[in-house]
Amino acid sequence: MDHQIDKRDLNLLKKDRYTFAVLSRILGKPCRLVLTDHEKLIICHSGNPFPVWVWTPDNLSCQEKERAWNITMEACPLKDGHTYNLKYELAEYFIQKTKGWELSVLTNLFAYDCPQSIVPTIKVDGGLYICTMEDLEEATDFLLRFGRELNVHTEDRDRKREKAVECISGNRFFLWHDASGKSVASCYYNLSDDLACLAGVYTLPEYRRKHYAQNLVYEVSELARGKGYMPMLYTDADYAASNACYMQVGYALKGKLCTIGSVKE
């Protein structure tokens, strides 16, 4: 296994360009671990507390699944508290291998793209606001709220501020202001080749079910498309409300993967 990626790996990921768009982006930055055979297996871990990404092609043989299991567990052992993002075919094999470890699916993930936006049927008050550095702390607050709701890396304000700076600098962090000028929802997008990966879609609890997020996602998708990018996003497949919201503004299912980890206390 090699510790350096090259064009062969990027070409492999293009076959799963939506499902593994995040992995393609992560591999462009310094990572704690990268392993690849340039053909059947790519393993990447950017760092704690993030999941280990495991890319494999479809229709693996039992021998190839076993190899993926052995290499992944040696590099990023389950006992160290890791979780893993991977295709369902391999996830099922990993779960079967753990026996009494109680490894299971933690999150079902859908990858969507938006070939053509659909104007929301319900208009809301206010409008889209593109953040500037004057909004840095407010943007950081929204990222922290989003992280707390997902129960991941909740209190690292410095890391959230760095993310906010990155997106604001590229005019890629957005708020929805209601008619009074209050920020009620947030969204940003990352760039991966020609994809604009929307993330951090969050509405303040007291303003939910008022269609602010739906209108925000529509407007941000159109902005990204106007710059030549294909809008896409990931959702929790089990959260029906958010999936319906995105489909109503034109998002279409393109791929599936899952996060697995130990549920044993």
Q: How large is the average pLDDT for residues 30-59?
A: 96
Position 102 scores a pLDDT of 78
Write the secondary structure of the chain as one string of H (helix), E (strand) and C (coil).
CECCCCHHHHHHHHCCCCCCHHHHHHCCCCCCEEEECCCCCEEEECCCCCCEEEECCCCCCHHHHHHHHHHHHHHCCHHHCCCEEECHHHHHHHHHHHHHHCEEEEEEEEEEECCCCCCCCCCCCCEEEECCHHHHHHHHHHHHHHHHHHCCCCCCHHHHHHHHHHHHHCCCEEEEECCCCCEEEEEEEEEECCEEEEEEEEECHHHCCCCHHHHHHHHHHHHHHHCCCEEEEEEECCCHHHHHHHHHCCCEEEEEEEEEEECCC
> What is the pTM assigned to this prediction?
0.88
pLDDT at 13 exceeding the cut of 70: yes
List pLDDT tens digits, range 118-154: 999 999 999 999 999 999 999 999 999 998 887 765 5
- pLDDT computed for residue 91 by the predictor: 96
Q: The tokens of 30 are what?
A: 């310094």
pLDDT at 155: 59
- The pLDDT of 174-180, averaged and rounded, is 98
100: confidence class by pLDDT, cuts 50, 70, 90: low
- 245-260, pLDDT tens digit by residue? 999 999 999 999 999 9
In this predicted structure, the answer to whether residue 40 has a pLDDT above a threshold of 70 is yes
Q: What is the mean pLDDT of residues 60-75?
A: 97
CA 105 and chain centroid, separation: 16
Phi, then psi, of 237 in degrees rounded to 5: -60, -25
Average pLDDT score over the chain = 94
Q: Which domains does the chain have, with CATH numbers?
A: 7-111 (no CATH), 127-249 (3.40.630.30)
Question: How far is residue 67's CA from residue 22's CA, in Å, rounded to a whole number?
Answer: 24
Mean pLDDT of 11-25: 94
pLDDT tens digits, 154-169 = 558 999 999 999 999 9
